[in-house]
Structures are given as structure tokens and as C-alpha cells.
């Protein structure tokens, strides 16, 4: 297992049991102890910026105008071809850390199976990266962080639930473990495909990376009996089970999983790597109910009854929703935290006009602890924005926007991303509080409840209820915070094909982009040969460790000229359909030109390396080519 743990600038000495929130930091009863003057997240951030810096000349050369920069664009101005130098990222950073937060409440068994069935489609998308599967860490965390101090009992009786631990084969800690003898390993209703799901003993996540010293891969799981990465993940995804707390703390579990806490989930350290992109995939059918485990800080909302305070005729799901949502910009009407929903009739409002509540939104004084602020009074839940900030600051610092991707498969009305919908799907366009006569046990149907946004009568959950999903307004806010790198899918899809394929494809696109698209119109050096034949010279630039020593230049790269690819007959490849198999192994590495409609200029230059060889991450390909003026993009090259 790779143990590439960041060095901290501040010390977290104990789990932020209550909320990892400012209110808890100032309250010594909140269960938080900090190193002197460390603060929870020091201003400098827990880690220095781990962003990737490329050589200064990556992209179009400063003295050459891209096609879109002027009316007479291209490497040449006027009517005469010019010589233009530009650089591609030939081998992108290949590290990806993928965290799956899987709801393990009793309703989730059909969706856990759908995830296990469709995960191979994400792997298939990732394998389209040049050089094959990237270097992956894949972790699974459940939504179970308990509820309050455990007074609810049952599945919520453990105040910290699974503690944000990544599920793995850990015989020394049976929480969130599939080790021999664990509850997951001995469940007769969900037998494991093999001991420990195939993970090596002691491993808390899947690791499958390129061997830096050869052409094979380093894996922390067995491949005996043709066991594959997909099999190991599917085993873990189903092993989380459906015995977790029904008051799901999805965002808190995600945050704690990514920000390991001393003495709580130290085993997660090393999962995140400085050079890796991070993908977070949430699979859940209820909204987030993350709150402090200290009852005085969570409005005692998780106790079914507290003598002398409440005899509440509503469900805990409604308690979470009513405290965490706004409709029409206002708190849910007729809801009193002391006695529950007091309306004489159901409440209905357009779901599209409802949002997650935030302490900072309705705060006239600017003080988040101002009791006159209705948001403060009615929000004992953890601020969604606090979770967003902590994950951004801790995991990727200033590079967060570029390196974090979030897919939410949540309770949400079907949208453009959702095309695999069941025939009997029932959707509700409204946010609604009512009594659900279909709920089991029957006594549940007598309580005011937060009604589902979609349901599938033909599917039955482990608790006997028809499958239902509830509007995830807090989860949607979390996903939306990552802009175009955040995608929402309805969990009421029949399967997760779109979600898995798009998430994998987005990661590949982020690693490669249009890295090998030519930003200029190239001249045709051989007009009598089929297709455009550019006149270019190439230099392969490989990162090296000691600039100025030996072959390692001051730029930090070792350079070698790279020839253009030719087939066994000595002919250049046809750009319309380059036959790469015709290029002998001993003539590689080489570069070739091809047409690609996905490129702005429909022109592409790529490096072809020996079979099984992947260039070191950060390898560059610098091209010097003759380029056409915009007035004549198909010009013939001038004589060399």
C-alpha cells in the first residue's frame, strides 16, 4: 500500500465529534481537543499547495497567436507560412483517488446492487485513458456516523457508527471490515465472494497502480481465480450492508473519511495522494442529516421522546428535513422543534423553490450564533458550506476546483442525466409533509413525514417498504459547489450506467483534455500524398530529478528528438485512419498526425510508445511546425 501521507501544519488531536464547526471549536464540551494554537484548519491550510506545475512553454508559444486570437490567426500572420513551436502534455498525471460514500440504511439494498452491477462501466471509461487504467485508489465509506449520543438505540445505537473508516480487510479493527470473523464476513444473507473481498490483509482501500520500475501493475488485492478490480469493489460495496443508521450523516462521513482523525480512523491515512485528482461519488436515497453527536448541540432531535420536553408525532427524517431546508426562502411553516409539525393539514410547496438552509443565509447581524437568526434557531445540522470548505482546504488547497469531481446519485427529480428510468417510476414535483400510509411498520404511517420525491413500487427494500427516495437538498448544495465538475443523477434510475460512465469519462477528460489537439492550421508538406502531411520536428521531454546534472537540463527535463512514425514500408501514416500496428516496436517512440473532430482545428499530434510502456507523468512533447495563415488554412509548405 502506498503511504504518501501529507505532513500537517496543524495537529488534529481528536475527532471533531460534534460538527468540525466553529461553534464546536469554542465549546470545550463539544468533544474537540486541539494542539495549542493549531486551530482546526490553520490559515495556511493543513498542507502546502500540491498543485502540478508544467514547464513554462506548455501551450501555444508566446510569439504565436492561436487560431481564435485574431482575424488573421494561426502561427503565421499575413499570407506566408511560419514556424511555430507549441507543447503538449504527452503523459498526464495518472493518479486518481475515488471515494464512494454508500448509504447503508435499510432501504438501500437494491441500489447497492445496482452500483455493484454498474461499477465496471466506470472502470471501462477509465481504461480509455492513453496507457490504460490510471493509478487508482478506490475507497468505500458508509453513511453511518450514528445519531446523537446513541440514545435512539437499534442501528443508531453507536454514537459514531462506522467512524468514517474506509471499508477493508482489517483484522485488527472489525469496524467497517470484511476480515475473517467480522460481521460482514459472517453475514449469511450476503456472503463475500472471497476472504476479505480479495484485499490483502490490513488494506483499507483498493490500490491498482502502474509499476514505476516495469510494465506491470502493483495491486493490493489477489488476482487468483481471475479476480479483478471490479470484483473486489463490488464485494466491498455490498458488504457495507443495510444495517446502518437511518439518520444518514453522508456529508460528515465523507469529510471524516477524507480528513482522518487521530484515534478514530487513522487507517485512512495515505488514501489521498498529493498528485491525484479526487472523485467523490455519493449514493444515497435520503438527504444529509449530519449533526453533532452531543445532544445539547443537536437540539436533542434524535431522541424519539425526551420526558418533559417533547412527545413528537413526526419521523426523524422529517426532523432532519424541517431543520435543514427552506422553501420560498423561509423555514418550513408550522414546525416547532419542541413538538414537531403542528399543521392541521399537509404542507406542499414547489420542490424547485426549496433549498438547503445555511446559518449564514438569514443572519442579519453577521453573527452565526445570534439567537434572533431563525436559521440559527432551527439549524442544529452541520453547515453544508463548512463541509465544502474543509474538503477543499484539506484535500487540494488552491487546486480544489481543478482536481475535485463530485457525482451525486441522490434523491432528486429525474433530469437530463437520467435516461434509464423504470416503467413504474412515480415522481412528485412538490416538497411535501404528509402521513405516508404505505410506510412500514404500520405505526410509521401515523406520523408526519417528509414525503418521497420519487418511488418505485416494483422494488422492495430490506425493511419491506417499496423503494422510495427523498429530496436531497443539502446533498445537491454540496454537489453544486464544485461547478461543472459536479453532476447529479436521480437514484430512482433503473441502473447507474450514465452515472458510472460519465464519472469515469469526466476524469479521463480532466487528465488529458484536448492535450494533443493542434492549436494551429498546419501546412501540407506532401500535397501528393493522401491526407495532410505536416512539416514538423518533435522533442520528447521527460521530467528528471536533478536539473543541471547529466542529461537533466536546467529546465528539469531530459530531451530527445522524436521521429515521425512510419509503417514497415517506410510510409507516413494516413491521418484519416492511422494504422498504429504497422509501426514496428523498434521504431518507437515516434509521433504521428491524425484527424480528430473533437479538436477545434480537427488536427491532432500524438506520441506512440512501445507496447506496454507509459511515459512518466508530466512528460511533454514539444513540436516545431510550419503553420498556415488563417487566410489559407490548407496552404502548401514553403521549402524547408
**What is the per-residue pLDDT across 140-178, written as a single tens digit (0 to 9) for each?**
999 999 987 666 667 787 778 999 999 999 999 999 999
Tell whether 529 and 540 lie within a shared domain: yes
Lowest mean pLDDT among 116-125, 337-346, 624-633: 624-633
Asked whether residue 399 carries a pLDDT value surpassing 60, the answer given is no
Tell whether 489 and 534 lie within a shared domain: no
Strand-strand pairing, 404-410 and 277-283: parallel
Whole-angstrom Cα distance, residue 101 to residue 157?
A: 21
Asked whether residue 585 carries a pLDDT value surpassing 60, the answer given is yes
Q: Quote the pLDDT of residue 401.
A: 52
What Å distances lie between residue 511 and 139, 173, 223, 639, CA to CA? 20, 36, 27, 38
Mapping DSSP to helix (H, G, I), strand (E, B) and coil, where does residue 510 land? Answer: helix
Whole-angstrom Cα distance, residue 353 to residue 343?
A: 20
Q: Does residue 364 sit within a domain?
A: yes
Tell whether 399 and 326 lie within a shared domain: no
In this structure, the number of other CB atoms found within 10 A of the CB of residue 300 comes to 18
User: Which residue, of 377, 400, 415, is where some domain finishes?
Assistant: 377
> Cα angle at 510 between 505 and 514, to 5 degrees?
95
Q: Grid coordinates in use for 495?
A: 441502473
**Maximum distance among all Cα pairs of the chain, rounded to whole angstroms:** 94
* pTM for this entry: 0.75
Q: Does residue 128 sit within a domain?
A: yes
Tracing cell 498526464 back to the chain, one arrives at 92
Lowest mean pLDDT among 47-61, 324-338, 469-483, 598-612: 47-61
Q: Are 163 and 256 in contact (CB under 8 A)?
A: yes
Tell whether 261 and 406 lie within a shared domain: yes
Whole-angstrom Cα distance, residue 194 to residue 203?
A: 15
pLDDT level of residue 360 (50, 70, 90 thresholds) = low
User: Which residue, of 377, 395, 411, is where some domain finishes?
Assistant: 377
In this structure, the number of other CB atoms found within 10 A of the CB of residue 560 comes to 12
Tell whether 169 and 274 lie within a shared domain: yes
Q: Are 589 and 91 in contact (CB under 8 A)?
A: no
pLDDT level of residue 93 (50, 70, 90 thresholds) = confident
Q: Quote the pLDDT of residue 616.
A: 82
Question: 53-68 in b/e burial notation, b at 16+ Cβ within 10 A?
Answer: eebeeeebbeebbbbe
Of these ranges, 27-31, 262-266, 602-606, the one predicted with the greatest mean pLDDT is 262-266
Mapping DSSP to helix (H, G, I), strand (E, B) and coil, where does residue 177 land? Answer: strand
The range of the structural domain enclosing residue 339 comes to 312-377
In this structure, the number of other CB atoms found within 10 A of the CB of residue 619 comes to 21
Q: Quote the pLDDT of residue 78.
A: 54
Q: Grid coordinates in use for 345?
A: 393539514
Whole-angstrom Cα distance, residue 244 to residue 70?
A: 60
- The pLDDT > 70 percentage for the chain reads 79
pLDDT tens for each residue of 282-305: 999 999 999 988 777 777 788 755
Asked whether residue 355 carries a pLDDT value surpassing 80, the answer given is yes
Q: Does residue 11 sit within a domain?
A: no
CA torsion through residues 595, 598, 604, 607, sign: negative
Asked whether residue 36 carries a pLDDT value surpassing 70, the answer given is no
Lowest mean pLDDT among 4-13, 233-242, 368-377, 423-432: 4-13
**Which of 499, 501, 478 has the alpha carbon at shortest distance from 490?**
499
Average pLDDT over residues 247-269: 95
Asked whether residue 43 carries a pLDDT value surpassing 50, the answer given is no
Q: Are 457 and 426 in contact (CB under 8 A)?
A: yes
Q: Does residue 233 sit within a domain?
A: yes
Bond preceding residue 22 cis, omega within 30 of 0? no
Q: Are 113 and 72 in contact (CB under 8 A)?
A: no
Tracing cell 454498474 back to the chain, one arrives at 118
Structure-model confidence comparison of residues 165 and 604, the more confident one:
165
Whole-angstrom Cα distance, residue 396 to residue 482?
A: 13
pLDDT tens for each residue of 372-392: 554 444 578 999 999 999 998
CA torsion through residues 19, 24, 29, 35, sign: positive
Tell whether 317 and 412 lie within a shared domain: no
Q: Quote the pLDDT of residue 338.
A: 77
Judging by beta carbons within 10 Å of its beta carbon (0-12, 13-18, 19+), is residue 394 exposed, middle or buried? buried
Tell whether 73 and 148 lie within a shared domain: no
Q: Quote the pLDDT of residue 55.
A: 31
DSSP characters over 41-67: S-TT-SS--------TT-EE-TTSB-T
Q: Does residue 202 sit within a domain?
A: yes
Q: Quote the pLDDT of residue 61.
A: 33
Q: Quote the pLDDT of residue 511.
A: 79
Tell whether 288 and 372 lie within a shared domain: no
Q: Grid coordinates in use for 278?
A: 479526487
**Which of 424, 439, 576 has the alpha carbon at shortest distance from 494?**
424
Structure-model confidence comparison of residues 247 and 151, the more confident one:
247
Tell whether 402 and 504 lie within a shared domain: yes
Tracing cell 486570437 back to the chain, one arrives at 69
Q: Quote the pLDDT of residue 623.
A: 94
Angle, helices 250-258 vs 384-391, to 10°: value is 20
The domain spanning residue 492 has which CATH number?
A: 3.40.50.410
What is the number of structural domains in the chain? 3
Average pLDDT over residues 550-570: 94
Lowest mean pLDDT among 162-166, 362-366, 484-488: 362-366
In this structure, the number of other CB atoms found within 10 A of the CB of residue 609 comes to 20
pLDDT level of residue 637 (50, 70, 90 thresholds) = low
What Å distances lie between residue 491 and 106, 109, 229, 282, 414, CA to CA? 15, 12, 24, 10, 9
Q: Quote the pLDDT of residue 33.
A: 29
- Which residue(s) pair with 219 in the sheet? 208
- On average, the pLDDT of the chain sits at 81
Average pLDDT over residues 388-397: 81
**Which of 518, 624, 519 has the alpha carbon at shortest distance from 66?**
519
Asked whether residue 49 carries a pLDDT value surpassing 90, the answer given is no
Tracing cell 404542507 back to the chain, one arrives at 347
Q: Quote the pLDDT of residue 139.
A: 98
Tell whether 87 and 138 lie within a shared domain: no
Tell whether 397 and 286 lie within a shared domain: yes
Asked whether residue 567 carries a pLDDT value surpassing 70, the answer given is yes
Asked whether residue 28 carries a pLDDT value surpassing 90, the answer given is no
Whole-angstrom Cα distance, residue 383 to residue 475?
A: 11
pLDDT tens for each residue of 107-143: 999 999 999 999 999 999 999 887 789 999 999 999 9
Q: Grid coordinates in use for 509?
A: 477528460
Q: Count how many residues are written for the chain.
A: 640
CB contact set of 412 (below 8 Å; sequence gap of 6+): 453, 454, 469, 471, 472, 476, 488, 489, 490, 491
Residue 350 exposure: Cα atoms within 13 Å on the Cβ side: 4
Tracing cell 447529479 back to the chain, one arrives at 488
Q: Does residue 38 sit within a domain?
A: no
Asked whether residue 53 carries a pLDDT value surpassing 70, the answer given is no
Whole-angstrom Cα distance, residue 249 to residue 252?
A: 5
User: Which residue, of 456, 483, 512, is where some domain finishes?
Assistant: 512
Average pLDDT over residues 252-274: 95
Going by the DSSP 8-state scheme, the letter that residue 395 receives in this structure is: I
Q: Grid coordinates in use for 540?
A: 520528447
**Which of 478, 482, 427 has the alpha carbon at shortest distance from 451?**
427
Whole-angstrom Cα distance, residue 570 to residue 187?
A: 63
Lowest mean pLDDT among 144-148, 374-378, 414-418, 592-596: 374-378
Of these ranges, 44-58, 271-285, 349-363, 510-524, the one predicted with the greatest mean pLDDT is 271-285
Asked whether residue 66 carries a pLDDT value surpassing 60, the answer given is no
The radius of gyration computed from the CA coordinates of the chain, to the nearest angstrom, equals 28
In this structure, the number of other CB atoms found within 10 A of the CB of residue 549 comes to 10
Whole-angstrom Cα distance, residue 234 to residue 246?
A: 22
Q: Does residue 199 sit within a domain?
A: yes
Q: Does residue 436 sit within a domain?
A: no
Tell whether 326 and 345 lie within a shared domain: yes
Asked whether residue 516 carries a pLDDT value surpassing 60, the answer given is yes
CB contact set of 262 (below 8 Å; sequence gap of 6+): 12, 13, 14, 15
Structure-model confidence comparison of residues 212 and 498, the more confident one:
498
CA 510 to chain centre: 12
Amino acid at each position: 500500500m502506498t503511504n504518501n501521507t501529507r505532513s500537517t501544519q496543524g495537529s488534529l488531536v481528536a475527532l471533531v465529534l460534534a460538527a468540525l464547526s466553529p461553534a464546536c471549536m469554542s465549546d470545550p464540551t463539544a468533544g474537540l481537543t486541539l494542539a495549542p494554537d493549531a486551530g482546526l484548519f490553520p490559515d495556511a491550510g493543513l498542507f502546502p499547495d500540491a498543485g502540478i506545475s508544467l514547464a513554462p512553454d506548455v501551450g501555444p508559444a508566446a510569439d504565436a497567436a492561436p487560431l481564435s486570437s485574431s482575424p488573421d490567426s494561426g502561427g503565421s500572420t499575413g499570407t506566408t507560412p511560419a514556424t511555430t513551436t507549441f507543447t503538449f502534455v504527452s503523459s498526464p498525471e495518472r493518479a486518481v483517488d475515488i471515494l464512494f460514500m454508500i448509504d447503508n440504511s435499510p432501504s438501500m439494498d437494491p441500489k447497492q446492487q445496482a452500483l455493484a452491477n454498474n461499477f465496471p462501466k466506470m472502470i471501462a471509461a477509465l481504461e480509455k485513458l492513453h496507457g490504460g487504467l490510471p493509478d487508482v485508489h478506490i475507497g468505500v465509506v458508509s453513511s453511518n456516523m450514528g445519531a446523537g449520543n446513541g440514545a435512539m438505540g437499534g442501528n443508531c445505537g453507536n454514537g459514531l457508527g462506522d467512524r468514517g473508516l474506509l471499508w477493508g480487510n482489517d483484522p485488527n479493527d472489525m469496524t467497517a471490515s470484511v476480515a475473517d470473523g467480522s460481521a460482514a464476513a459472517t453475514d449469511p444473507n450476503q456472503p463475500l465472494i472471497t476472504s476479505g473481498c480479495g484485499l490483502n490483509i490490513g488494506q483499507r482501500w483498493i490500490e491498482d497502480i502502474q509499476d514505476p520500475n516495469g510494465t506491470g501493475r502493483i495491486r493490493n488485492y489477489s488476482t487468483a481465480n481471475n479476480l479483478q478490480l471490479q470484483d473486489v469493489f463490488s464485494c466491498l460495496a455490498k458488504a457495507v450492508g443495510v444495517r446502518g443508521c437511518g439518520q444518514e450523516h453522508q456529508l460528515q462521513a465523507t469529510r471524516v473519511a477524507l480528513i482522518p482523525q487521530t484515534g478514530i480512523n487513522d487507517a485512512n491515512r495515505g488514501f489521498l495522494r498529493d498528485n491525484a485528482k479526487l472523485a467523490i461519488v455519493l449514493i444515497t436515497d435520503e438527504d444529509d442529516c449530519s449533526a453533532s453527536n452531543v445532544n445539547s448541540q443537536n437540539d436533542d432531535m434524535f431522541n424519539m421522546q425526551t420526558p418533559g420536553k417533547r412527545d413528537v408525532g413526526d419521523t426523524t427524517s422529517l426532523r432532519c428535513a424541517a431543520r435543514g431546508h427552506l422553501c420560498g426562502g423561509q423555514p418550513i411553516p408550522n414546525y416547532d422543534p419542541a413538538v414537531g409539525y403542528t399543521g392541521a393539514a399537509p404542507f406542499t410547496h414547489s420542490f424547485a423553490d426549496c433549498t438547503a438552509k445555511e446559518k449564514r443565509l438569514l443572519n442579519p447581524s453577521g453573527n452565526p450564533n445570534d439567537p434572533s437568526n431563525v436559521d440559527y434557531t432551527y439549524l442544529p445540522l452541520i453547515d453544508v458550506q463548512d463541509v465544502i470548505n474543509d474538503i477543499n482546504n484539506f484535500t487540494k488547497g488552491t487546486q480544489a476546483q481543478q482536481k475535485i469531481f463530485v457525482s451525486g446519485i441522490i434523491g432528486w427529480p429525474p433530469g437530463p442525466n437520467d435516461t434509464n428510468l423504470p416503467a413504474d417510476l412515480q415522481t412528485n414535483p412538490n416538497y411535501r409533509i404528509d402521513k405516508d400510509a404505505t410506510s412500514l411498520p404500520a405505526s410509521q404511517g401515523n406520523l408526519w413525514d417528509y414525503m418521497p420525491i420519487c418511488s418505485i413500487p416494483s422494488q422492495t427494500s430490506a425493511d419491506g417498504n417499496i423503494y422510495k427516495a427523498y429530496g436531497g437538498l443539502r446533498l445537491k448544495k454540496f454537489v453544486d459547489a464544485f461547478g461543472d465538475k459536479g453532476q447529479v443523477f436521480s437514484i430512482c434510475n433503473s441502473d447507474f450506467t450514465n452515472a458510472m460512465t460519465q464519472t469515469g469519462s469526466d476524469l479521463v477528460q480532466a487528465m488529458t483534455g484536448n492535450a494533443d489537439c493542434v492549436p494551429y492550421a498546419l501546412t501540407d508538406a506532401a500535397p501528393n500524398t493522401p491526407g495532410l502531411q505536416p512539416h514538423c520536428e518533435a522533442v520528447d521531454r521527460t521530467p528528471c530529478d536533478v536539473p543541471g546534472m547529466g542529461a537533466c537540463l536546467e529546465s528539469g527535463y531530459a530531451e530527445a528528438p522524436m521521429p515521425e512514425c512510419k509503417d514497415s514500408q517506410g510510409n507516413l501514416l494516413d491521418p484519416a485512419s492511422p494504422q498504429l500496428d504497422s509501426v514496428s516496436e523498434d521504431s518507437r517512440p515516434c509521433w504521428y498526425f491524425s484527424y480528430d473532430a473533437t479538436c477545434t482545428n480537427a488536427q491532432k499530434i500524438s506520441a506512440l510508445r512501445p507496447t506496454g510502456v507509459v511515459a512518466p507523468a508530466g512528460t511533454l512533447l514539444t513540436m516545431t511546425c510550419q503553420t498556415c495563415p488563417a487566410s489559407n488554412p490548407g496552404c502548401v509548405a514553403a521549402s524547408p
